[in-house]
Amino acid sequence: MFQDRDETTEAVRSGVARLCMEFPGEYWRALDEKRAYPKAFVDALTEQGYLASLIPEVYGGAGLDLATACVILETIHRSGGNAGAAHAQMYTMGTLLRHGSEAQKQRYLPGIAEGSLRLQAFGVTEPSSGTDTTRIKTTAVREGDFYRINGQKIWTSRAEYSDLMILLARTTPRSDCAKPSDGMSVFIVDMRENLGKSITINKIDTMINHSTTAVFFDDLMVSADNLIGQEGKGFRYILGGMNAERILIASECIGDARFFVDRATTYAREREVFGRPIGQNQGIQFPLAQAHMQTEAAMLMVERAASLYDQGQVRGSEANMAKYLAAEASWFAADTAMQTFGGFAFAAEYDIERKFREARLYRTAPISTNLIFSHVATHDLGLPKSF
């Protein structure tokens, strides 16, 4: 993505590619087998400043834009790696950057930039509400200079490896609000001193190595100084972060799609059956060509969404369309690679089966396909809401 955009972007692309060469398929396969966190990889990204790319220079970051962050994530995934262990630091901090106080930025951003603080957890989804965020049940009740927080979050990835969490909670009951999206507030929570006390983290075993958890809050006391922005305005604050999340994850999908097309095309050239390369057969050629075209088309939407975001036009439709099209392109490319490799696709050493499992996630998360369809139908086509 963003090929030949400028010298900075190309320097970032080549720098990330060099870093990823130090973490080949063997590294990721070993982690996948043990369901282990890629600490060495995340440490390397941190040390070279890539996870601080969106933090302004005044706070110790690189001050780059979302488009460059997309290049970082695409490059990681095209190399065969997975940025899921670290990507949240990019999109969660947007809420703090856009809506946090200067005191909050000074308190947290320099540590995040240098790596002494980890912001990897985004506490929004709950078991009973799913993607109907307005029905979350986690509450934050004001008591003097503190808020008492009780509730549960689920699918909170990387909570075990994060010092801080961006947390959405209800400060006003839904029934007392003029709009369902009112009455929710955002907090930045320091989890370190509360783990095992008022915060409990339970790991969830899944089909991929994604370090996801359920998090429980039992009378967690959070200072009012940790409220981001105004009380009750939290839902609109996190929407910008969610749009960034969808664009960044779409860039990962583009990287995955290119990984599959690259690997499958190389294999199709080299694998010979019946005395000739299998890539000479149209039954192999055509799906690969289709996967390539779908990837290139999806890439254009991701570039458009990222460019609009960087111009200050935080538009949900472009972010949603980018995520949908990129995830679909990635999944088609994944299935095409499986078909091209045949039986060898199921052998772990080729990395196809691992990436195949990982690619499936983004047809479901961080927002389901049907909700994207609903958003586009109502916001772009003017059709009535179905719920």
Is residue 241 within 8 Å of residue 91, measured between CB atoms?
yes
Residue among 126, 245, 318, 358 flagged as catalytic: 245
Enumerate the domain spans of the chain.
7-114, 119-232, 236-379
Catalytic, 245? Answer: yes
Report the pLDDT averaged over residues 334-343: 98
- The pLDDT value recorded for residue 4 is 82
CATH annotation of 236-379: 1.20.140.10
- The pLDDT value recorded for residue 225 is 98
Report the pLDDT averaged over residues 231-251: 94
What is the rounded average pLDDT for all residues in the chain? 96
Is the pLDDT confidence value at 262 over 80? yes
Q: pLDDT band for 350, please (50, 70, 90 cuts).
A: very high
Class of domain 7-114: mainly alpha
Helices (H), 271-368: 282-310, 316-341, 352-360
Q: Which residues pair with 203 in a beta bridge?
A: 213
Closest among 81, 143, 171 to 351, alpha carbons compared? 81
- The pLDDT value recorded for residue 241 is 87
- CA distance linking residue 288 with residue 296, whole number of Å: 12
- The pLDDT value recorded for residue 240 is 81
Share of the chain above pLDDT 90, in %: 93
Q: pLDDT band for 27, please (50, 70, 90 cuts).
A: very high
Class of domain 119-232: mainly beta
Is the pLDDT confidence value at 171 over 90? yes
